[in-house]
Amino acid sequence: MATGVDQSVGMSLVAFSLLLFTYYSVWVIVLPFVGSDHILHKYFLPREYSVILPGIAAVILLLCIGAFTAVVIWKNHKPKKVD
């Protein structure tokens, strides 16, 4: 069983992910259909960032996965014995 701290951290991560998903969904799906003079636009970045920010996040994620894989392979590498 998870401790209380683990459960609270897990719930915090779920809440943050839900908030981020909702914000991004409104930004990408709803905002293009709202007039540019509407007050809702002041809570969001310009639309160009809706493509740039996930792209940067994807590159960082791929770099972290590649670095992790390289470290695991490097640590598990066994030198060949020379006869």
14-64 residue pLDDT tens:
999 999 999 999 999 999 999 989 998 999 999 899 999 999 999 999 999
- Using the predicted structure, report yes or no on whether residue 79 has a pLDDT greater than 90: no
- Using the predicted structure, report yes or no on whether residue 82 has a pLDDT greater than 90: no
Q: Residue 36 — φ and ψ, nearest 5°?
A: -70, -15
Q: CB–CB of 32/51 below 8 Å?
A: no
* pTM for this predicted structure: 0.70
DSSP 8-class letter at 37: T
* CA 48 – CA 51 distance, rounded (Å): 6
